Amino acid sequence: MAKHWTAQDIPNQSGKKVLITGGNRGLGFQMALELARKQAQVTLACRSTRKGNAAAERIRSLLGAAVQVEVLALDLNDLESIRDFTGAYKERHNSLDILINNAAVVNLKEKSTNPMGWEMHMATNHLGHFALTAQLYPIIRDTEGARVVTMGSGAHKFGTLDLSDIHWEKRPYDRSISYGDSKLANMLFMRKLQQKFETEGVNAISVGAHPGLSATERQQSIGIGGWLTKIMAQPVSKGVLPALRAATDPEVKGGAYYGPRYMICGYPILAGLDKKALDQKKADTLWELSEHLTRTTF
């Protein structure tokens, strides 16, 4: 029987620069911890620098004061914050080996919008990450062997992604479909970005991953789903393995999607995307709409 892939299989990351959105808690924190353990230089992109600094201090307390971890402020719901963040990152660094688009909001009970009128699932989970990746694209492109890992979810299978009403202005709001839409958008973006790398001859790959059902604070707070999570979920240390494999396994190919073997739990393996995530026309239209809304281009 083939050996399970675990965090022990992460190659040494010395000299590599890693950026994780939402790196101060849950899955993002665990990713940062494991990559810092393997000597990566990690940037935690967090809305709250206070919480980010606390997370960084915790990593240092666990791994030692010499660990390389920094915190920069980023609000994915604010285009100005994204511009400020990318400017600050570029002032400090001229390369980026691994970008993990991890931060997310999940199943918001009531429809809410950001100051630009964007529905919050789509704003945080897709559009903010789209703008962030676009603004970091020049240094990603110039970093040999760079990877962009975009976090998905099994919920992408339930998304419909009506691009004529992306912000739920015409339809009655449905939180499950809205969240699924944002995760479907993530996977359409992931595959389209890989196509861009290939078309432009960029030595980088775009990969997707999902954590299954993991016992994060966020998941445990969602109604009856949170109750089930407490009973059935795998620990966060296992839930991060698909993303860590996507980010570091030398055998990973661009456009791949990793998840737990048994969908909600298990060691990481290649997973299957719903056919809706393979819709090229929708991917092309979403890309154009995302550039228009975020006023960014790759």
Locate all alpha helices (DSSP H) within the chain, ordered by sequence: 26-37, 49-63, 79-92, 120-121, 128-141, 175-200, 217-220, 223-232, 236-239, 241-248, 280-294
What is the β-pairing status of strands 268-270 and 257-260? antiparallel
Q: Which two tokens stand for residue 240?
A: 């991060």
Alpha carbon dihedral 27, 29, 30, 32, in 10-degree steps, equals 120
Asked whether the beta carbons of 99 and 19 are under 8 A apart, the reply is yes
Catalytic site residues?
A: 179
Amino acid of residue 125 = N
Count CA atoms within 13 Å of residue 196 on its CB side. Answer: 20
Q: Which two tokens stand for residue 172?
A: 């009655």
DSSP reduced 3-state for 152? coil
Tell me which residue of 178, 163, 194, 183 sits closest to 290, measured CA to CA. Answer: 163
Tell me which residue of 214, 152, 211, 215 sits closest to 181, measured CA to CA. Answer: 152
DSSP label at residue 46 = E
